[in-house]
Structure 1
């Protein structure tokens, strides 16, 4: 009887989940054109629109005849600033023209395709550009449980965290088999044990995690979550004037509220890698043992995120003190709006680290392909590029890749249960988290370092020619970048110590991104991409993930419902 009742309840739950509308967000990772919202789009005007002195809002009647005409024709119901100055840098904000970038919301009964609408706005003399609000997703997936990989754990001594022995990326003893290769390679890790002795980290350095949220009440994150001390919790006021009400523990940009809880586990895994409490005899060891973790949720509980949320969360992280921004996520399309946010970060000397993504191809994904971003690929337990993760896919490559880092079978905390330690994820997401953590340690050593200083140190100390000989060539190559990162060597870089396999002939590099001699202008690049993408590629992509179909809904999704 209990089994029958359980089956009935499960059937009802599944039916409810299936019936919940997904709004305009594309879920999952795919190469299909059409990953954008149909209920709103971006414009950048040549002059800033006037705001109501009473409400602070912008009227759809801007006073500019040509724009107002299109607003009426296409039934624009709301105009919203993508970026607000708030507590930001006024000079950089103005230099990038961030005060002139807007989201335009469309009435649901509008029958015009949004692609057509942005073409019309782009033709106006008063508009600098108009573009779609693209969507993307995280760059990691949860693996099926493998009991062989997680045997009874003996207490480790260095460090003493219970699950340290499965964290092969910190110390690879050769026991964790790769997905494709024959056997793991001892020492194919980030050389973390001696690195702990050099630099454990500092609570004065903030790493912003732009992701699905974090299980911020987990014991492994006690004392580690960034707290906005200028905000009084629960009083429904923006006490510090940063534009967000009650953002004491970060912000949820996907659902527009002050509770950035994790909706599907990805962000919690990323936070584990970067900064779980270390040497506390439970759970896992973080790479940075003291840094603060800023929780910026910009993915829904179904693993989808709008570029608008990503752009806004980047600015929030910068304005509120983050020194490193981890973006273990990516989208198919380039965007001027998202690039503006990245430019804001780099001009404020904040390092942005992003994932190459997991489609096992050499296409550009964003923000990783933008100038100013450290783009990270993934390696397996044998030090080769991860050609197939446990769940499938494979680490992407390309002419903008900076470095690679371990990314397969990365164990971490669960987002639902405090004492569940058998959860692992795989993808360039996890590799990105490792590089972000190393960057945060480098800033701890010297706060005056710039993003290019951080890149130079990380690339100059990466282990070269450790991967597949057909891919990993001397110096930089498009599969491994400058090599697999080495935390210890990075931390002792300025001492002149040279460890085995360091390529001393590597020259100082700059974060260039998009350095494939193609169009770097987002609008032109997207046009070129659409011209070159064949129908066969789209069909192949759908075959890989048939659920990822183009979204045609014009309904604005509710931002108030979480799982």
Structure 2
């Protein structure tokens, strides 16, 4: 909501004796520069010219408002309050327009010298690291797509949900979604806000799962629910300031599909959660650029309108204290992308994924071989988990020429975690962000690639997180056996091949006889005893030696 209250900053000037003689003596170009971020640090980052975000100390704004002094000095300076975030539940936080001869850098220096100001910072520009994109081909009913459950024709391309090595990866290197759906496919009562480039809310694989504001009457030009936004039927566009969060970039729609494309509907793909409500909140333009102020409004809206999870597939090295405060003010889980620079976030922090907040779960990318792709950021103390993020098939805006594309990046990994959170909440809506985060991290598949690279040391496992026992690798009984193979020592290898509860030489004999069948019907990873990523006679030898 917009305000034009000059008196706050004017009274601040009067009370603190700020001098503007130095401010108006020179003009700085408000472009990429070394600028304060409210923490005493300096970081080169681009910001919006002529805009400053300021946080007053508790009680200050009310005291200044009571003074009610005239705006003559501010009129000369050309400063005004553009947005009062206090109305959005972010107390004492405002965005200022500095349209006079004073630079952003100078205004911040003056504001931070005041005892009434907690911090001041630029309105940082937030830019997507746009992922590579590969358009999907025509639907082809393959081995997986021929399954009755789910019947989505492009499910065979979704290795992250069910990996049989179909993309050159390793069988079983997935999040165990196919078995998890036997437990739950989600709930329409759970709302996931996608703060991004918007969402194609008319997409045939998404339309039925798009959130609708129950208190708003469409297209009547009235703010029916009194939340400050007119006709916000399916969310809002905070960067263009209108009620149409349609995606004109593609990134947000892709993320939304990973979270909640309608599953088993005979169309396209399946989301991690088949039943969920996606709340489209646009704060990035078609070119992938937005700003901190727009993200603050989006977060405030998501909190006010009842989002249960907020998915953030974006970020950078600029540390906005205002953004950190906005996240901390919620009681909502924030899956956040770790970044795509291939760097260590312990050394070069990345935000918002790197804020020290219990609401945030930072997500790296995994590939189809359960490795960490070269583009993915990592961090033993700052990145929590990994999730599939390498060439992920998902939805895309129809208006951009393709309904489905593959993308790669931690942007694609993050919505896998958001989808998992939605499934967990569908079973237990009372789970707190801390409980959700702990459950997700405690049930990962621990993998060598993520040991020392993430806090949890592993890639998410939806089946285990939902309480599924044993392994999610999908092993089945061999021909002539009444029981499926068993992993007796928890190392991920199913040495009890015949399923009789013990490992002995009969397992070696069974394995030798059924090698061809195993290679075609079982997850390779479960029976690759030699570690060469295939089933052959070396596995017979290794199994024999282990017994």
Q: Which runs of 5+ in 1 are unaligned?
A: 1-23, 52-57, 86-92, 178-183, 388-392, 505-563
State the secondary structure of the residue aligned to 1:44.
strand
Query: Is 1:219–2:209 an aligned residue pair?
Result: no
Match of 1:44 among 35, 51, 55: 55
2: distance between equivalents of 1:432 and 1:208?
13
After superposition, the C-alpha distances for 1:240-280 in whole angstroms (9 at most, x for unaligned) are 11121111110011111100000110011011111111111
Match of 2:83 among 71, 80, 104: 80
Shift of 1:138: 3.2
Match of 1:33 among 44, 49, 53: 44
1: distance between equivalents of 2:401 and 2:123?
39
1: distance between equivalents of 2:491 and 2:223?
51
In structure 2, what is the equivalent of residue 548 of structure 1?
A: none
Q: Which runs of 5+ in 2 are unaligned?
A: 1-29, 33-41, 473-486, 493-547
Query: Is 1:137–2:124 an aligned residue pair?
Result: no
State the secondary structure of the residue aligned to 2:421.
helix
In structure 2, what is the equivalent of residue 125 of structure 1?
A: 115
2: distance between equivalents of 1:361 and 1:230?
45
In structure 1, what is the equivalent of residue 275 of structure 2?
A: 290
Relative distance call for 1:466 and 1:187 in structure 2 (3 A) is: farther
Query: Is 1:254–2:239 an aligned residue pair?
Result: yes
Relative distance call for 1:25 and 1:394 in structure 2 (3 A) is: farther
Residues 103-118 of structure 1: matches in 2 within 5 Å? 103-107=95-99, 110-118=100-108
After superposition, the C-alpha distances for 1:80-138 in whole angstroms (9 at most, x for unaligned) are 213424xxxxxxx4xxxx2311100011xx34331222011110122221111112233
Residues 489-508 of structure 1: matches in 2 within 5 Å? 489-492=464-467
Relative distance call for 1:487 and 1:288 in structure 2 (3 A) is: same
The worse-fitting range, judged by mean Cα deviation, of 42-51 and 330-339 is 42-51
Match of 1:165 among 152, 156, 159: 156
Relative distance call for 1:121 and 1:219 in structure 2 (3 A) is: same
Relative distance call for 1:451 and 1:233 in structure 2 (3 A) is: same
CA contact (8 A) 2:81 2:94 kept: no
Relative distance call for 1:311 and 1:62 in structure 2 (3 A) is: farther
Shift of 1:397: 3.3
State the secondary structure of the residue aligned to 1:141.
coil
Question: Is the radius of gyration larger for structure 1 or structure 2?
Answer: 2
2: distance between equivalents of 1:316 and 1:160?
36
Shift of 1:413: 1.8
Q: TM-score, normalised by structure 2?
A: 0.73
Query: Is 1:454–2:442 an aligned residue pair?
Result: no
Match of 1:353 among 322, 326, 335: 335
Match of 2:364 among 359, 368, 377: 377
Residues 387-402 of structure 1: matches in 2 within 5 Å? 387=374, 393-397=375-379, 399-402=381-384
Query: Is 1:99–2:91 an aligned residue pair?
Result: yes
Aligned residues: CA RMSD: 3.0
Q: Whose RCO is larger (CA < 8 A, sep 6+)? A: 1
Q: TM-score, normalised by structure 1?
A: 0.71
Relative distance call for 1:32 and 1:48 in structure 2 (3 A) is: closer
